[in-house]
A = this chain, B = another copy of it.
Amino acid sequence: MTELAEQITRMGQAAREASRVLAKASPASKSTALKAIAEAIDGHRSHLVAANYKDLELGQAKGLATPLLDRLVLDDSTIDRMIQSIQEVDALADPIGRLEQTSIRPSGISVGRMRVPLGVIGIIYESRPNVTVDASILCLKTGNAVILRGGSEALSSNQALVQCIHRALAKADLPETSVQLIATSDRAAVGHLIRLSDYLDLLVPRGGRGLIERINSEATVPVIKHLDGVCHLYIDRSADFDKAIALAVNSKVEKLAVCCALETLLLDSITAKYILPVLAKAYAKHSIELRGCDRACEILPEIKAATDEDWYQEYLGPILAVKVVDDLDAAIRHINHYGSMHTDSIVAENQASVWRFLREVDSASVMANASTQFADGFEFGLGAEIGISTDKLHARGPVGLEGLTSAKFVVFGQGHTRDRSQTS
């Protein structure tokens, strides 16, 4: 084993040990730790900003693109938002140890489910240092130990944040190894982490397609995947036109580069001719390039024709694919075929259409008369999110506290024995 592999293995062992302590930690001690993290971050603002400055300088020297540098910045307002996140997660009910669905069975035993931590979670992420805090507090609240692997471009910032977290853990009498940061820019570390199946119960990769694909093919640890967000808005023939236009514009332009931004607009053929010309003007104001199907191009001869590839595209930028479809059925078929099962919305007044869309579109988040831009853990009431799952198993959509726990069966008897000749 290389020195690095040994180091990652030791981190795994330490995390496993810490997870045993965290699993039985009281809600009070976890809350003490969360409050202490907020205090430590608040009390070390200048230290955090200085560490971040080092990352920014290095990033500029390396020629990082401006959007990447922007996401890297730690300033008073991003620090305020971190502290707000911590307070919100602290205010959520502690899920661990909660007994649910308990009932007495014909045999006389009581059977229920208990929420418990998963154990040890690994997170792989890029740039934004706030993920360091979000991931740590969600894992802590759910009694999980966490191993963080942030991007090398944010190493100093992440180290400074983890120092704050360690101070807070010590204050709450919880092991510092509850939160560990892999503090090397050696990319081989990721390779070791994703094969640490003896010590890791879940891996959450947050990053580009390249990272996800590498993890898909190499990881032996269970993974919650976050793939593309090829999000759709479908304007039904029963739509309120004003709502439809407001939602179509907001879903696209509120933020262009987020995974819940609109990428393909679908319109019912009966109303397309009324709505599309108005919409085209609205999009033009935001410099959005439209790429249309044949029928869309008939209504808007000035726009570019879309190719089949456009229906699969996550542009994350000022381009929008537009397709006119026969009806609701065709819209649902299109989304289930070309979409990425992330977030899709319908604009409709007809309740039958709304419910068919909500039931039949096979995506993590389905919406009616709401902007796709709402699809995140904060807006959904999870306090924060550790990622957005486009998988179907375990966790779908924004992953908050619940996705970091599992439910085991709990049985209470009073000396009950089983006699199969009686029961079956």
Using a CB–CB distance below 8 Å, which chain A residues touch chain B? 20, 23-24, 81, 97, 103, 105, 107, 109, 111, 114, 116, 118-119, 201-202, 222, 240, 242-243, 246-247, 250-251, 254-255, 336, 345, 347, 356, 358-360, 362-371, 373-375, 378-381, 391-394, 396-398, 406-420, 423-424
Contacts and interface: CB of A to CB of B under 8 A. Distances in A.
A416 B370 contact: yes
A409 B363 CA distance: 9
Tallying the copies of this chain within the complex gives: 2
A379 B114 contact: no
Contact of A380 (B111, B240, B247, B398): B111
B392 A396 contact: no
Residue from A20, A366, A416 whose CB has the most chain B CB atoms within 10 Å:
A416
A103 B336 CA distance: 27
A415 B246 contact: yes
B97 A365 contact: no
A412 B370 contact: yes
Contacts of A103: 381
A contact patch SS: mixed
Given A370-B416, A418-B250, A222 B109 contact: no
Nearest to A24: B360
A119 B392 contact: yes
A371 B246 contact: no
Contact of A381 (B111, B247, B359): B111
A378 B420 CA distance: 11
